[in-house]
Structure 1
Amino acid sequence: MPDLPRQKAAIIGGGVIGGGWAARFLLNGWDVAIVDPQPEAPRKIADVIENARRSLPGLYDRALPDEGQLVFCETLQDAVANADWVQESVPERLDVKLDILGQITRAAPDQAVIGSSTSGFKPSELNAKGGRTIIAHPFNPVYLLPLVELVGAPAICEQAADSLRSIGMYPLIVKAEIAAHIADRLLEAVWRESLWLVKDGIASTADIDEAIRMGFGLRWAQMGLFETYRIAGGDAGMKHFLAQFGPALAWPWTRLTDVPEFNDELVDLISGQSDAQSGHLSIRELEQLRDDNLVAILRSLKNAGSAAGRVISAHEDSLPTGGEHEGLPITASQQVPSAWTDYNGHMNETHYLEIASQATDGLMGLIGADAAYLGRGLSYFTVETHIRYLDEVLAGDRLRVTTQVLQGQGKKMHLFHRIWRGDGELAATAEILLLHTDLKARRSCLPESAVEAKLTAYAQAHAHLPADGSGRFVGEKPGAASRSNSSQHPSPSTPGE
């Protein structure tokens, strides 16, 4: 299948948000052109992209596409040439945005989506002098958080939504334009109340952050607001909750219609408390801590198939997989997340087994022993594993696994995985023996004929290939019992037979 032409994103403005957009597109295989007049922009954007390279692959159990090409352009016209998407992320000043968006509208291809990262302005304001800009408002870090609020012409928003889903984001189309859209209006309410709590001496900045991250923030991460309150109503649901707590809306619990005077005293109070709370960490250290925590939370949601985890799973399913290498099927591919490395800086041995397990699942999918098969009460259980560690693997390395079937008749599935590093070096091998099992009886049994036929076909196709390194035991000297052909491998004894 021929490679499809890469798509191109033009990023106008390379601050934190522009850099995050660049990273999200780049790591999903788009070419990215950036224009920003600030001399420090290339360095700052490089830092953001490095953070993304460190964290984004950790969300997935498949490798992301090969990175696109990143270029810095001298002019806006050069950046937007042939672009499929143009994202404006310049400072929140209407006069500046109108000028830049006017230039983009005149220079960008007719079919390109023109999005603005604005957190407050409306499309009618941005297009007041003519234009076709939609709001595409993301959340920091753009390369990890999936939400993008879309506001504007319905047809363009739908086109934009398709592109955003292809890079693992969640487009939320706002039904009518309103200043600050949806999420920032909610955040503003919490922010205003928090300022009063600090000003009035009721809580410090650290107290407020703990109240959020130790309590309702965890609920919001996977259920949001209304679903959380529905549960709070018990068996009677939302109606009971509203009846019970609705009257509290008339009580003077909050000061949302009142704003504290934003003076030097308030600035010094809050910034001083913030320094005491987090000043011992650099911004880069805080970013990495944030990203590591987000990856862990998002992976948990992905494993549960819930909330933002559903977005990651859907994107992962769209990532390319399969193919062949040296005559063997590629059954797993992944970039090594930083969480897989240990104090020595290389991949911990636990995760060699993890990616080998993914490869086993990949092979099982190829022969039809998939989720539907499991639903019929049948599967293969691992009874023996032998891993050889041949070369070092570091965070960020791309791994792919090929699988050779050594035996596939009857109840046994005998596999030999080769774990290849992105530079073509063989990093490890994993030899695995599995036994077909009836999940209800919890006893070994013969597989369905169609599954056995496919597995046997693989074994026959792989029989002429060498399998150097298989059939060994721990501590055996290299070459002592190594065999060059899978047909020479005696099957290990299998428990339970």
Structure 2
Amino acid sequence: MKAAIIGGGVIGGGWAARFLLNGWDVAVFDPDPEAERKIGEVLANARHALPGLYDRALPAEGRLSYHASLAEAVAGADWIQESVPERLDLKHKVFAQIAEAAPEGAVLGSSTSGFKPSELNAEGAQAIVAHPFNPVYLLPLIELVGDAGACERAAGILKTIGMFPLHVRKEIDAHIADRFLEAVWREALWLVTDGIATTEEIDEAIRMGFGLRWAQMGLFETYRIAGGEAGMKYFMEQFGPALKWPWTKLMDVPEFTSELVDLIATQSDAQSGHRTIRELERLRDDNLVGIMRALKKTGSGAGGVVAGHEAALPLADAAAELPVTAAQQVPATWADYNGHMNETHYLELGSRASDAFMALIGADAEYIAAGQSYFTVENVVKYLAEVRVGERLEVTTQVLKGEGKKLHLFHRIARGGEPVASVESLLLHVDLTTRRTCAPPPEVAERLSEIAARHGGMARPEGARL
């Protein structure tokens, strides 16, 4: 699959990273002589962050290419994403050039944050709004506006690269999410203008309070809880009258003077000026990965999208000589105060490898839900080399013993073929009703026996102790 990115700014670069890191070939056209450098910096952040969301390996990266003409970039593309500046005349000009060169059937999406499809297509284009959120390579939301059939097709593609398509029912200026942001931004400007709060204090109010709630529940579900046991109806009855009180100035705009710009800029510099933009982006991405990984465990919000995408990534091959039972990039959340991967996460990788091996022999989630599983009774972890954030690890599993109710596994953890650790695990098959050990059913025992027989001729791993 090939994506053509027209416009390589922050958003275009984010699109390039999202497609590229999900295995697509990506062709970029941007006349800016700095485009390749800028996209390269976005990609560096994306390579650091996106794989860290997942506990399975993403597909191998696609091929990235830069082109001197728009026609070259869109040739053979399955998806064409326009991300040029928000000028309608410029977008019309770009769409006309795309129409001359684009293959039939390619999706044409516009990253516009404000224009409606009727405006984009006023001169004959057949584009849909495909409005993402920065950073595009991490945040899953994508607002789709336009022809229902085209949006449905686009949604199917976007889900395969880990995004959450939201089809906007009717076209409207600024779509859905940016209208909320506009309201909050406008009120924030008034609070600064009136001397009530600084930029830092407003940011603290968001990130220390409702921002955390919104990340997992959004607006209406948060307020449903605020209504207590009586629910949303009670909340509306109690707090609805407040809508008539003059709390906000959402219908007014503060005068956008040079003094206001200087005030905001000065406060923002004092708040964050000690970090470069790239440092702030890296901090943002590491925090987002940590939050989204936490949400992934419960399937809440954006974490549910990551979990669903991860479930579609390839599993281990049971027929392989030594099956790859875990493969992922080390996320920043696994680093400790020494700046390297903490010891507990080696065991976590070994645990996940055991789970993956169980699934290979049929002891998967459905099997466990039916009342049987394997319990770990002993682990031996051996650390061989230091591992840092961003490095990719692969775990292969050898069966040392697999008969009766015993399962003895040796997990090798490697970085580019170099051994960095091993986790040796002894497990017993258990009936979850009685919580006592028992022999596995014939179908599981047979699959285990087949793999154990293949591994029986291999040398016992150096360092095996159990």
The one-letter code matched in structure 1 to 2:137 is Y
- In structure 1, how many angstroms separate the alpha carbons of the residues matched to 2:390 and 2:319? 21
Measured in 1, the distance between the counterparts of 2:338 and 2:231 equals: 51
Q: Residue 5 of structure 2 contacts residue 15 of structure 2 at CA under 8 Å; is this kept in 1?
A: yes
1:27-66 map, 5 Å: 27-66=21-60
Pair 1:119 & 2:121 matched: no
Counterpart Cα distance in 2 of 1:237 and 1:454: 51
- In the superposition, relative to structure 1, how do residues 326 and 229 fare at CA in structure 2: closer, same or farther (>3 Å)? closer
Whether the 8 Å contact between 2:374 and 2:430 is mirrored in structure 1 is yes
**Is the 2:318–2:360 contact (alpha carbons within 8 Å) kept by the matching residues of 1?**
no
- Deviation at 1:391? 4.3
Residue 426 (structure 1) aligned with residue 419 (structure 2): yes
Figure out how many residues of one structure are paired with residues of the other and give that number: 466
Letter of the 1:19 counterpart: G
Q: What's the secondary structure of 1:328's corresponding residue?
A: coil
- What are the within-5 Å matches in structure 2 for residues 183-262 of structure 1? 183-262=177-256
Structure 2: 5+ residue stretches without partners: none
Shift of residue 343, structure 1, vs aligned partner:
5.6
Aligned to 1:178: 172
1:284 aligns with 2:283: no
Report matched runs for 1:63-142 at 5 Å: 63-142=57-136
Distance 1:247 1:308 in 2: 33
2:150 aligns to what SS in structure 1? helix
2:1 maps to 1:21:
no
Q: Is the aligned partner of 1:296 residue 2:297?
A: no
Partner of 1:10: 4
Deviation at 1:459, TM superposition (A): 1.5
**2:345 paired with 1:351:** yes
1-side partners of 2:423 and 2:40: how far apart? 37
CA positional deviation for 1:324: 6.1
Q: CA deviation at 1:112?
A: 0.7
Relative to 1, partners in 2 of residues 1:73 and 1:325: Cα closer, same or farther, differing over 3 Å? farther
Report the Cα distance in structure 1 between the residues aligned to 2:143 and 2:12, rounded to whole angstroms.
16
Displacement of 1:452: 2.7
Match of 2:257 in 1: 263
Residue 440 of structure 1, CA deviation: 4.4
Tell me what 1:465 maps to: 458
Q: Is the 8 A contact 1:346 1:395 kept in 2?
A: yes
Match runs of 1:363-374 below 5 Å = 363-374=357-368
Query: Any stretches of 5+ residues in structure 1 without a counterpart?
Result: 1-6, 473-491, 493-497
The one-letter code of the counterpart of 1:382 is: T
| Partners of 1:146 and 1:131 in 2: CA distance | 26
Q: Secondary structure at the match of 1:322?
A: coil
The partner residue of 1:153 within 121, 132, 147 is 147
What secondary structure is seen at the aligned counterpart in 2 of 1:382? Answer: strand
Residue 122 of structure 2 aligns with an amino acid whose one-letter code is A
C-alpha change, 1:84 and 1:348, in structure 2 (3 Å) is same
CA displacement at 1:326 relative to structure 2: 6.4
Deviations 1:429-449 (A, max 9, x none): 321111223344443333334
Structure 2 counterpart of 1:467, one-letter code: R
Q: Secondary structure at the match of 1:408?
A: strand
SS at 2:77's partner residue? Answer: coil
Q: Does 1:317 align with 2:311?
A: yes
Deviations 1:1-39 (A, max 9, x none): xxxxxx111111111101100110110001111111112
Name the counterpart of 1:339: 333
Deviation of 1:339 (Å): 3.2
Normalising by the residue count of structure 2, what TM-score does the alignment of the two structures yield?
0.96
Distance across 2 between alignment mates of 1:336 and 1:342: 12
Distance 1:424 1:369 in 2: 29
Name the residue aligned to 1:452.
445
1:387 deviates by 2.7
Cα deviation 1:44-77 (Å, max 9, x = unaligned):
1111110010111111000000011111110101
Tell me, what secondary structure is at the counterpart of 1:428? strand
1:170-207: CA deviations, max 9, x gaps? 00010111110000001100110110011001111111
For residues 141-181 of structure 1, give each alpha carbon's deviation from its aligned partner in whole angstroms, at most 9, with x where no partner exists: 00000000000111111111011100000000101111100
SS of corresponding position for 2:26: strand
2-side partners of 1:208 and 1:45: how far apart? 31
Offset at residue 458 of structure 1 (A): 2.1
The 1-side partners of 2:277 and 2:203 are apart by 17
Q: 1:415 aligns with which of 390, 405, 409?
A: 409
When the two chains are superposed, the root-mean-square deviation of aligned CA atoms in Å is 1.7
| Structure 1 runs, 4 residues or longer, greater than 6 Å off | none
CA distance in 1, matches of 2:7, 2:406: 58
In 2: Cα distance, 1:136 partner to 1:202 partner: 37
Q: Is the 8 A contact 1:324 1:402 kept in 2?
A: no
CA contact (8 A) 1:77 1:104 kept: yes
Whether the 8 Å CA contact 1:8–1:83 is kept in 2: the answer is yes
> How far apart, CA to CA, are the structure 2 residues paired with 1:325 and 1:52?
33
Which residue identity lines up with residue 333 of structure 1 in the other structure? Answer: A
Tell me by how many angstroms 1:104 deviates.
Answer: 1.1
- Give the letter for the 1:318 counterpart: A
Inter-CA distance 313–42: structure 2 relative to 1 (3 Å threshold): same
Q: Bigger shift: 291-300 or 321-330?
A: 321-330
Normalised by the size of structure 1, how large is the TM-score? 0.90
Q: Are 1:416 and 1:470, in contact at CA under 8 Å, matched by a contact in 2?
A: no
